[in-house]
Amino acid sequence: MTAALAAQIPSRAGGAEVTSAPARSVLTKATGFMSEYDFTLNPYSGCSFGCSYCYAAFFSPSQENRDAWGQWVRVKENAVDLLSKRKHGSLDGKRIYMGSVTDPYQPIERKLRLTRKLLEILAGEPSPEYPRLLTEPHKPKLVVQTRSPDVARDWGLFRRIEENGGCAQVNITVTTDDEEVRRTFEPSCPPNEARLRAAAKAQAEGVAACVTMTPLLWTSDPRAFADRLLATGVRKFIIQPFHYQRGKFVASTREKAVDLMARKLDCDRAVFRERYLAHYNEAYAVLKAKLEKDGAELGEGKDGFKPPF
């Protein structure tokens, strides 16, 4: 870790406790849901957004960390050194998915700019902080996944990767058109409208964008939601259902969140799963018809997450 980075690490960010530790690697061979990528790239472990349905919690290093998901973030303090050493050789043409188990633009990123530093390495951008690391740019095929409009800070780096002959796409997640649902399932995330504005801005700035409804929680008006999605200018969408009973949920918002959605679905817990799936299927059919009528693509589940280039 450089002294400059160490000095910047705060003890808390986004309501979570922040620690730092060296990681064995920053690029990890992609497997499972991401198996069509070559690598996943995560600057942090843990995530202060702490979404109540987050599957990444299961990859926490301990049960204690799983139970406290959303309340801790660990900075991979040697991430810049690891990526710049090119242990994996050239990343030209390599499909990289950034943010498989953390959000690279969660609040700590504003202070630390670690995601940005990794993008600078991929883009071969000069960084006054790391002059000795200035190397040839890579030409990766990069997808960055986030729930934060803060990604807009780095549009220039996305474009630079494209100019260098690589590919870059930002996936921005929006899970509902209902802010009450969003606040209950994702209390620490930015509002949906801010994320949709970021997606529109990406399009306007010439950055490839995709809106991921992953998971789609609840839609109060699927037709109006489709119109709002299309109004961003984005023409790539991915959707997948919310898995109510997969593994253990994060404790902090689970009960409240499921109760709220049961109320929206006008059912009790006993039939929640069936009601939710019926709602999802209805919303999916409306969204698919409306989005595709406008020339947009709607992928679903693992197939939808296939590398776009």
Which residues are at the interface with ligand SF4 (CB under 6 A)?
47, 49-51, 54, 56, 102-103, 147
Least distance CB 227 / ligand SF4 (angstroms): 26
Shortest separation between residue 52's beta carbon and ligand SF4, angstroms: 9
Identify each DSSP E strand in 110-241 by its residue range.
Answer: 141-146, 167-173, 208-216, 236-241
- Are the C-beta atoms of 299 and 305 separated by less than 8 Å? yes
Nearer to ligand SF4, 14 or 222 (CB): 14
* Residue 294 DSSP symbol: T
Q: What is the smallest separation between the CB atom of 7 and ligand SF4, expressed in angstroms?
A: 26
CB of 5 to ligand SF4, least distance (A): 22
Kind plus residue range of the DSSP H or E element containing 39: strand 39-41
Of 171, 122, 162, 120, nearest to 143 (Cα)? 171
Q: Which is nearer to ligand SF4, 95 or 147 (CB)?
A: 147
- Which of 78/175 has CB closer to ligand SF4? 175
* CB proximity list for 35: less than 8 A, separation 6 or greater: none
How far apart (Å, rounded) are the C-alpha atoms in residues 197 and 232? 7
Classify residue 163 as exposed, middle or buried by CB count within 10 Å of its CB (0-12, 13-18, 19+).
exposed
Q: How far is the CB of 148 from ligand SF4 (least distance, A)?
A: 8
Closer residue to ligand SF4, CB minimum distance, 59 or 130 = 59
**Cβ proximity to ligand SF4, 85 vs 246, nearer residue:** 246
